[in-house]
Amino acid sequence: MADLTDTHPDRAAPGDPGPTPRSSPEAKAARAIGRMWRSKSVRTRLGTFVVIMTAWQAGVMMFGRDYMATPLGILAVAPEMLTTDAQLWNNTRMTLVDVAIGLGLGGAAALLVGIALGQAKTLEAALGPYINGLYATPMLAILPIFTLWFGFSEQTRIALVIFSAFPPLAIGAWDGSRAVSKRYLEIADSFGAQRRHVWLGIAVPASLPYLVAGFRLASGRALTAAVVVEFLTAVDGLGIYAMTLTTTFRHDEAVVAIAILSIVGVLLTVGVQKTIEKFLPWYGNM
Amino acid sequence: MATINDTEKADAPRIVLSGVGKWFDDLCVFQGVDLDVGKNEIISIVGPSGCGKTSLLRCLNGLLKPDQGQVLVDGEPVLGPRKSIAMVFQDFGLFPWKTVLGNVGYGLKVRGVPKSEIRDVAQHFIKLVGLEGREHAYPFQLSGGMQQRAGLARALTVNPNVLLMDEPFGSLDAQTRELLQFELLNIWSENPTTMVFVTHAIEEAVLLGDRVVVMMGRPSSIRTIVDVPLPRPRDPSTIASAEFQQIRHYVWELVMGVERGRSDGAAHVG
Ligand SMILES: Nc1ncnc2c1ncn2[C@@H]1O[C@H](COP(=O)(O)OP(=O)(O)OP(=O)(O)O)[C@@H](O)[C@H]1O
Ligand SMILES: [Mg+2]
């Protein structure tokens, strides 16, 4: 695998002394910071961040009320909250576990159904309209039915997460597996590949870009679904916790809770994509 | 690679095409194709673009059904993809998500061969085509020549009685192409098998083939079959020989002459 990275032009920049053996962690960290600082995009991001935070701080100080969240206020409460607020982490865990379960179940089902739909014409004709219908159904509309079935409970949260995550990933897998190049199918055919080889070995990897796009949508919708359920059924979780903090005028704390949701969202979308790019070097070179 | 029971009917042809024709809707691509290919014979097919060479190969490996006539391999009609027939594609046809090892082992994998055996066999052919050390590279990390080496290795792993090659070197640069032609000849002499080799390059057709089939016309059919009685093993000195040049020129005239004759509207007598 070592030769895989050889193709990256930025690996061995001219003048780079290269990895010195046994360099200390401090030296490594210093070099990493130096590298980041030399990177234009990092500087741009840092600059934008400072501008936005300053504007926010100044805006609230000039025009806002004193309970409103400000960057400095958040900075003041965040360390203690993140280290000692057991409730914050309990709620985070409850929400995220259900999001993970829902995304996992919904995602696995979506992958199966989507790939099958794209590869089997009959199945597509039979089930396609329902998948499209599910995708178009507003998730909120179904929530009362779920609460009737499952009560004001965590099951309702999982159910709505599944319901929200399933359609976009199913449609992604469906589109992707329908768009699998005829070339690949012909090659598989010429070696006498059976259906299961084609579905798993070709349709899935060949539609990976579609799956990633579908997963991005699905994970965003999954988080939204979890928070919505908490708001409307008062099931414990990060969403309701943020709401409680907000209604009790602890807005700096509320922003910390909301930020955790955002970070998880980013990890699920960008993080998954980056991980795939790192571990599947062919992704993007198809 | 000859198996023991090949010797039973050693002189029975490996491939028999009789009156084969193919239509796409109302477009007749070729018709009346009759050809016997002997065991371990190499047949080159040349012909203008669009004359149906790829379609003919696809009929040979069962990806297409001929609308007329019959394709027999080892005495049995080809009705679908067969274990004994393997194909090498012009665009290499590697799966971008598989490493060299994964691609080369693909034919065995879909046959349900145990993993460890796939590894060994794939490794053997990877070495044979000169890709040792690149087993874990992905196609995008390989040059065209290396990708086609992998494509060739993949076809060889399944130990085919018939190896179909659709302009395998057509998209490579001249040097790589020449290199691979001779390597293919070497591999073939160590693992002889029946080969149908489609190409646009007349020199390549003559160098590799025991016979060169010239396809012509619209719809096309076999215009001429030229014998190539050059001794084997063939190597770079073969190309320099007067006999090679003579045959090459003869095939060239056939291909070009007929083309010119047609565009002039004048009948050409071969
Ligand atoms: N699946 C298909 N459906 C309809 N027409 C087709 C199909 N495949 C091939 N054809 C047509 O059949 C004819 C022969 O195609 P084929 O690819 O066999 O030619 P070829 O001799 O291999 O050409 P080239 O040298 O350019 O590869 C062409 O006119 C092509 O457009
Ligand atoms: Mg062709």
Q: How many structural domains are present in chain A?
A: 2
Q: Does B67 touch chain A (CB under 8 A)?
A: no
Residue B82, pLDDT > 60, answer yes
Chain-wide mean pLDDT for chain B? Answer: 87
Whether residue A282 and residue B63 make contact (CB cut-off 8 A), yes or no, is no
Q: Does B54 touch chain A (CB under 8 A)?
A: no
B215 Cα–ligand 2 center, Å: 13
A191 and A106, same domain (yes or no) = yes
pLDDT in the model for residue A262: 94
A107 and A231, same domain (yes or no) = yes
**Is residue A243 included in any domain, yes or no?**
yes
A12 and A94, same domain (yes or no) = no
Residue B5, pLDDT > 90, answer no
Q: Does B158 touch chain A (CB under 8 A)?
A: yes
**Is residue A43 included in any domain, yes or no?**
no
**Whole-structure pTM value:** 0.80
A22 and A112, same domain (yes or no) = no
A96 and A210, same domain (yes or no) = yes
CATH numbers and ranges of domains, chain B = 4-84+160-263 (3.40.50.300), 94-159 (no CATH)
**Is residue A26 included in any domain, yes or no?**
yes
Enumerate residue ranges in chain A where pLDDT < 50.
Answer: 1-18
A185 and A116, same domain (yes or no) = yes
What distance in Å separates residue A204's CA from the closest CA in chain B? 10
ipTM above 0.85, yes or no: no
A11 and A89, same domain (yes or no) = no
A254 and A161, same domain (yes or no) = yes
Q: pLDDT grade, residue B259 (50/70/90)?
A: very low
**Is residue A72 included in any domain, yes or no?**
no
Which atom, in ligand 1's list, is nearest to the CA of B22? 12
Does residue B95 have its Cβ closer than 6 Å to ligand 1? Answer: no
**Is residue A64 included in any domain, yes or no?**
no
Whether residue B110 and residue A197 make contact (CB cut-off 8 A), yes or no, is yes
Cβ-Cβ contacts under 8 Å, A183 against chain B: 91, 93
Residue B191, pLDDT > 60, answer yes
pLDDT in the model for residue A22: 62
A201 and A118, same domain (yes or no) = yes
Does residue B53 have its Cβ closer than 6 Å to ligand 1? Answer: yes
Q: Is A181 helix (H, G, I), strand (E, B) or coil?
A: coil
Which residue reads 């995008």 in tokens? B140
pLDDT in the model for residue A5: 42
pLDDT in the model for residue B9: 57
**Is residue A52 included in any domain, yes or no?**
no
pLDDT in the model for residue A40: 85
Q: From CA A202, how far away is CA A184, in angstroms rounded? A: 7
A100 and A33, same domain (yes or no) = no
Which residue reads 């399933």 in tokens? A166
CATH for A169: 1.10.3720.10
A121 Cα–ligand 2 center, Å: 29
pLDDT in the model for residue B8: 52
CB A99 within 8 A of CB A160: no
pLDDT in the model for residue A284: 85
**Is residue A140 included in any domain, yes or no?**
yes
Domain that holds residue A184: 83-279
B144-188: per-residue pLDDT in tens? Answer: 989 999 999 999 999 999 999 999 998 888 888 888 899 899 989
Q: From CA A252, how far away is CA A72, in angstroms rounded? A: 9
Q: Does A285 touch chain B (CB under 8 A)?
A: yes
CB B42 within 8 A of CB B59: no
A157 and A267, same domain (yes or no) = yes
Three-state helix/strand/coil letters over chain B:
CCCHHHHCCCCCCCEEEEEEEEEECCEEEEEEEEEEECCCCEEEEECCCCCCHHHHHHHHCCCCCCCEEEEEECCEECCCCCCCEEEECCCCCCCCCCCHHHHHCHHHHCCCCCHHHHHHHHHHHHHHCCCCCCCCCCHHHCCHHHHHHHHHHHHHHCCCCEEEEECCCCCCCHHHHHHHHHHHHHHHHHCCCEEEEECCCHHHHHHHCCEEEEEEECCEEEEEEEECCCCCCCCHHHHHCHHHHHHHHHHHHHHHHHHHHHHHCCCCCC
**Is residue A53 included in any domain, yes or no?**
no
pLDDT in the model for residue A21: 54
Q: From CA B230, how far away is CA B243, in angstroms rounded? A: 8
A118 and A198, same domain (yes or no) = yes
pLDDT in the model for residue B126: 94
Which atom, in ligand 1's list, is nearest to the CA of B48? 25
